[in-house]
Amino acid sequence: MTHEPSSHPNELSPDTVVVAAGRPAREHDAAVNPPIVLSSTYVGTGQVVDGDRAYGRYSNPTWDPLEDALSELEGATLPALIFSSGLAAVAAALSLIPVGGVLVMPRHSYQGALVMAQEQAAKGLFTLRTVDIANNDEVLAALTGAGEKAADMLWLESPTNPMLEIADLRVLCRAAKAVGAITVTDNTFCTPLVQKPLELGSDLVLHSVTKYLSGHSDVILGALVTSDDRLRHALLHYRSIHGAIAGPFEAWLALRGLRTLALRLERSQANALELAKRLDVHDGVDRVLFPGLDSDPGHRRARDQMLGFGSILCIEMAGGEAAANALVEALRLWTPATSLGGVESLIERRRRHANEPDSVPVNLLRLSVGIENVEDLWNDLAQALEAAGAAGAAGSAGAAGSAGAAGSAG
Ligand SMILES: *Cc1c(COP(=O)(O)O)cnc(C)c1O
């Protein structure tokens, strides 16, 4: 279980690494792909010593190629650790905060991570300070504690979900280090092809592998990546003892999905930028949130620390919540569903979730742009915007109609 990250003879580009990493040794008649190993236990001592696999909760050969590939892509020196879900990885990362410690977290963190942190803080495990992560002064003050206890962990997410704010990762990681806090960066929205948090100074990188890395909306899986031996050891222990491990089939599917990550991202990012530009000048849309637009408040920072702008964008609908619901109802190609990062384009109004912070506007729609033909995606949006505009006008004339639409989306 102490497998080493695979090494290639030459430095390869990330778009090659996603294809080449984690292949079995080239022996005559060997399979080109790693096999799925289904075994709950292994012949031997039963002890996790000298790299023995011992038991299926500690290790599985199907995990190794995926853990190697994620490590290589993030530029880590140690194998990644995969978990049964992104949130299982979040739980493992939060376990590194000492009891009575302090966690600093973006107020627009991924909802599940925020709820978990709030619940653990309510139990008295640690103090939670939520911040506007795009505001360096506010984050620095929360880190040092301004007279109170300094932070033990800084949680970073950039762009944030769903407001797509951009955190100044280099500056914030350096500031966290100065107060002795561990930094965790949720890199789900970017993937290592768009952002490399370890290079920007983060101690840990977290992924919901469920999203872009798997890419086909058919897997739930998470991962943590680090080059810090002590942190990795603690996380491995946590995984083995708490038991939120990956199923071999999920690990195999995720590696299969990863093979096309570069191609999928190339298309989905190009689609997202084009749609953002068109939506930005559409009358039915009040505001587009997308770091790829020159006018976006996070654009310069994003250009400085990212290798692209991702393919999540948000719009605030003119005509409010009713128009947002009407748009979703009128779409025929875009699928109304939560989640993101799959080949198919998804859309959802975030405030339909009870736990979504009040600072997320009620008329905000999050779009996960897929790899379909961009004109087909646009045509569907354009006809739905028109229908939503008409529904908005009808809604203001007869309030009962728009209230009904809002109710059905909850
Ligand atoms: C989905 C998601 C998670 C949680 O991952 P699961 O695999 O659903 O448990 C965490 N962070 C971000 C940014 C996500 O999008």
Distance CA 190, CA 307 (A): 9
Pairing of strands 101-106, 153-157: parallel
Quickly count: other Cβ atoms within 10 Å of residue 294's Cβ: 9
Q: Which domains does the chain have, with CATH numbers?
A: 14-258 (3.40.640.10), 261-401 (3.90.1150.10)
pLDDT score, position 48: 78
Please provide residue 153's backbone torsions phi and psi, each rounded to the nearest 5 degrees.
-145, 135
> Who lines ligand 1 at CB under 6 A?
85-87, 110, 112-113, 161, 186, 188-189, 208, 210-211, 220, 222
pTM (2 d.p.) = 0.93
Our answer to whether residue 186 is catalytic in this structure is yes
Q: Which of 163, 188, 221 to mutate to test the pocket of ligand 1 (most atoms within 8 A of CB)?
A: 188
Our answer to whether residue 110 is catalytic in this structure is yes
Ligand 1 atom with minimal separation from the 210 CA: 7
Pairing of strands 285-289, 312-317: antiparallel
**pLDDT tens sequence for the chain (410 residues):** 445 555 555 689 999 999 999 999 999 999 999 999 999 999 987 777 777 899 999 999 999 999 999 999 999 999 999 999 999 999 999 999 999 999 999 999 999 999 999 999 999 999 999 999 999 999 999 999 989 999 999 999 999 999 999 999 999 999 999 999 999 999 999 999 999 999 999 999 999 999 999 999 999 999 999 999 999 999 999 999 999 999 999 999 999 999 999 999 999 999 999 999 999 999 999 999 999 999 999 999 999 999 999 999 999 999 999 999 999 999 999 999 999 999 999 999 999 888 888 999 999 999 999 999 999 999 999 999 999 987 666 554 433 333 333 333 32
Rounded to the nearest angstrom, the distance between the alpha carbon of 110 and the centre of ligand 1 is 7
Helix (H) or strand (E) holding 335: strand 335-336
Q: Which two tokens stand for residue 65?
A: 């190629």
Distance CA 116, CA 126 (A): 12
Ligand 1 atom with minimal separation from the 113 CA: 10
Mutual angle of helices 86-94 and 229-242, in 10-degree steps = 120
Q: Tell me, what amino acid is at 339? A: S
pLDDT score, position 10: 63
Q: Which two tokens stand for residue 4?
A: 């080493």
Q: Tell me, what amino acid is at 227? A: S
> Which DSSP state fits 407?
H
Q: Which two tokens stand for residue 256?
A: 């299969």
Of 211, 232, 301, 349, which residue is the catalytic one? 211
Q: How far is CA 66 from CA 36, 80, 231, 252, in A?
A: 12, 8, 20, 8
Distance CA 266, CA 253 (A): 21
Report cis status (omega within 30 of 0) of the bond before 106: no
Our answer to whether residue 177 is catalytic in this structure is no
Angle, alpha carbons 104-187-13 (nearest 5°): 145
Q: Which two tokens stand for residue 365?
A: 């729609």
